[in-house]
Amino acid sequence: MNSELGGRLDAAINVLPEDQNVAVILRDVQGLSNQEAADTLDVSLSTLKAGSTEGD
């Protein structure tokens, strides 16, 4: 990935609400599965897929 694209992706991730930011990083940067990310965040898989990890 070129540095310009990487910078743009970082900027886009950083403007997400914190709960979504963490989910994206776990799944797409660290390579965790949806289930692994949900387990790490202590939320249900459906909550993670819905895009919010707060309140579960």
User: Who's near 16: CB < 8 A, 6+ residues apart?
Assistant: 24
User: Who's near 43: CB < 8 A, 6+ residues apart?
Assistant: 53, 56
Residue 55 confidence (pLDDT) above 80: no
Count the neighbouring beta carbons within 10 Å of the beta carbon of residue 40: 16
Inside any domain, residue 56: no
User: Who's near 12: CB < 8 A, 6+ residues apart?
Assistant: none
Q: With bands split at pLDDT 50, 70 and 90, how would you rate the model's confidence at 51?
A: confident
Inside any domain, residue 43: yes
Inside any domain, residue 55: no
pTM of the model: 0.73
How many domains are there within the chain?
A: 1
Condensed to tens digits (0 to 9), the pLDDT of residues 14-42 reads 999 988 999 999 998 899 999 999 999 99
Q: With bands split at pLDDT 50, 70 and 90, how would you rate the model's confidence at 52?
A: low
What residue numbers bound the domain in which 44 lies? 3-50
Inside any domain, residue 29: yes
Q: How far is CA 38 from the centre of its chain?
A: 10
**What pLDDT shows up at residue 19?**
85
